[in-house]
Amino acid sequence: MIVTNIETVPGKTITEHFGMVSGNTIRAKHIGRDIMASLKNIVGGELKGYTRLLQESRDQATARMIDQAEQLGANAIVNVRYSTSSITQGAAELYVYGTAVRVA
């Protein structure tokens, strides 16, 4: 599966469009991490636990999008966009969407 965020796959031509595919995930970290994060809020700096959480969530959302594209019979996803929204304290939604195509 080729995933790009430009409108084409360089060196290949798009032969078929399958429409939009997307994947999302909502995750929260356990309370221990949240307490660590609020302590880190005093001294500042990077919240490694949250960075890892969001990276894992983003990978999972992308995997879901790829699953969906595979079911449609696509072999590439173009014009992929990410978005993040916080819905409650300590939880975040990761959303990824793109257009499933077949390239040759």
Tokens matching residue 104: 């040759």
Site mask, other proteins, residues 31-70, x = CB under 8 A?
A: ------x--xxxxxxxx--xx--xx--x------------
Q: Contacting other proteins (CB under 8 A), which of 22, 26, 80, 97? A: 80
Q: Specify burial of residue 69 (Cβ count, 10 A radius: 0-12, 13-18, 19+).
A: buried
Among 87, 69, 91, CA closest to 78? 69
Residue 71 DSSP label: H
15 binds other proteins (CB under 8 A): no
Please state, as a whole number, how many other Cβ atoms lie within 10 Å of the Cβ of residue 6: 9
Minimum distance from residue 104 beta carbon to other proteins (Å): 14
Minimum distance from residue 16 beta carbon to other proteins (Å): 18
Per CB under 8 A, residues contacting other proteins are 2-7, 9-11, 37, 40-47, 50-51, 54-55, 58, 80-86, 89-90, 92
